[in-house]
Amino acid sequence: MWWMMNENGGHYCSKKTDGICSDFCGQESSRVLSMSRIRCILRGMDLKMYLLLFILVPTCVYGIYMHGQKISYFLRPIWESPPKQFNEIPHYYHENVSMENLCKLHGWGIREFPRRVYDAVLFSNELDILSLRWKELYPYITQFILLESNSTFTGTEKLLYFANHRDQFKFVEPRLTYGIVGGRSRKGENPFIEEAYQRVALDQLIKIAGISDDDLLIMSDVDEIPSRHTIDLLRWCDDIPSVLHLRLKNYLYSFEFLVDNNSWRASVHRYRTGTTRYAHYRQAGDILADAGWHCSFCFRHISEFIFKMKAYSHFDRVRFKRYLNPERIQRVICKGADLFDMLPEEYTFKEIIGKMGPIPHSYSAVHLPSYLLENADKYKFLLPGNCLRESG
């Protein structure tokens, strides 16, 4: 022990002192003793240590608060391995090649008659993209199935946008199965729970539409649009996989900003009663290359961007109120930057670094949905060179 009691009951310090903390000995209570230790430490610190403590540390804390999400995404390759690779099926197509030869090129047979095709979507507010989707797929769809809710995935009440604009879609009315599911409006709950709840309701609506075994069922979000010739191929060819994912070209804001060719969540199923369930995650290992387009956040009005940013399952990405500023959103769109100021969601440092920064502008409008090009004036905002949006 470095101290002991003296004869009079006081404290006796046998350890040498350096003058800085000479008054440390002689303290009578543990509380005073602890405070003395702190004072001793502080008195012994030089200017550099003070700068480190009061400037550098708060700066680091602020930096983590502001950019913690970026740091997490950049370090993702360390703590998360990439998913198992798909079995890529080459996609063959030319308008002058017969369907029999196209099926043969894919290693499939040809049917005597085509399968029936059902297209099922959950709808929020994407009226323009829904029009493009249904016009693209119209020749080959037996039944269009659409479910909407009066609540967003985040529990906020919303209008029934499709019901209020149903007159715009009279061309599908004879083939439309439409349903409404009441949202639970539970704010604070994980939004993926509400999303799953609505997908279960969509399962029931699909059955009401009259689907049967071996009919084709398209499972994808509204903005994940399979190309017309892809669906025609799958309905005519025999021996196609029971579940086939579709690799789509991945666009952001419009067809001017091509992110990559890696959108994979869309899928086509050969329906099986009691087995097929509507889902939006990986369900099989096979994927058909170059099968359509995924145009994310492809809205006409700035107000629609703001609505989706607050309403969809990843609303937690809106970390600061300024992200919802209309002027900022317009600047971000024209620049091809990220609305949430995030790094790319990739699994290798090479891919992350390669995709950092704004998306390069593309000036090609080749191989886009035909209805888009036939109505270019109406959908000008989706074509290259037209980044300005209406306020709405």
For 301-313, what is each residue's pLDDT tens digit?
999 999 998 887 6
- What DSSP state is assigned to residue 376? T
Report the share of the chain in percent with pLDDT over 70: 79
What is the CB-side half-sphere exposure of residue 92 using CA atoms within 13 A?
14
pLDDT surpassing 80 at residue 192: no
Average pLDDT over residues 316-326: 87
CB-CB contact of 290 with 249 (8 Å): yes
pLDDT surpassing 60 at residue 42: no
What distance lies between CA 232 and its chain's CA centroid? 28
The confidence score (pLDDT) of residue 155 equals: 79
pLDDT surpassing 50 at residue 7: no
Residues 6+ apart with CB under 8 A from 128: 298, 299, 300, 379, 382
The confidence score (pLDDT) of residue 57 equals: 66
pLDDT surpassing 60 at residue 23: no
Residue 83 pLDDT grade (very low, low, confident, very high; cuts 50, 70, 90):
confident
The confidence score (pLDDT) of residue 317 equals: 78
The confidence score (pLDDT) of residue 183 equals: 76
Q: How far apart are the C-alpha atoms of 324 and 24, rounded to whole Å?
A: 57
Domain residues for 272?
85-297
Lowest mean pLDDT among 35-49, 239-253, 325-339: 35-49
Average pLDDT over residues 29-57: 62
pLDDT surpassing 50 at residue 219: yes
Q: At what angle do helices 127-137 and 228-236 cross, to 10 degrees?
A: 40
What is the average pLDDT value for the chain, to the nearest integer?
Answer: 86
Residue 344 or residue 371, greater confidence: 371
- What DSSP state is assigned to residue 390? B
Residue 345 or residue 245, greater confidence: 245
The confidence score (pLDDT) of residue 314 equals: 62
The confidence score (pLDDT) of residue 5 equals: 44
Residue 78 pLDDT grade (very low, low, confident, very high; cuts 50, 70, 90):
confident
Is 155 among the domain residues? yes
Please tell me the pTM assigned to this model: 0.81
Lowest mean pLDDT among 54-58, 91-95, 131-135, 161-165: 54-58
Residue 3 or residue 46, greater confidence: 46
The confidence score (pLDDT) of residue 66 equals: 58
Residue 244 pLDDT grade (very low, low, confident, very high; cuts 50, 70, 90):
very high
Is 57 among the domain residues? no
Is 157 among the domain residues? yes
Q: Which amino acid is at 285?
A: G
Domain count, the chain: 1
The confidence score (pLDDT) of residue 327 equals: 96
Is 392 among the domain residues? no
Is 366 among the domain residues? no
Is 151 among the domain residues? yes
Residue 350 pLDDT grade (very low, low, confident, very high; cuts 50, 70, 90):
confident
- What is the number of helices (H) and of strands (E) in the chain? 13, 16
Residue 40 pLDDT grade (very low, low, confident, very high; cuts 50, 70, 90):
low
Is 252 among the domain residues? yes
Of residues 189, 226, 274, 218, the one with CA closest to residue 91? 226
- For 2, phi and psi rounded to 5 degrees? -95, 0
Is 282 among the domain residues? yes
For 109-120, what is each residue's pLDDT tens digit?
999 999 999 999
Lowest mean pLDDT among 11-25, 58-72, 283-297: 11-25
Q: How far apart are the C-alpha atoms of 91 and 93, rounded to whole Å?
A: 7
The confidence score (pLDDT) of residue 185 equals: 61
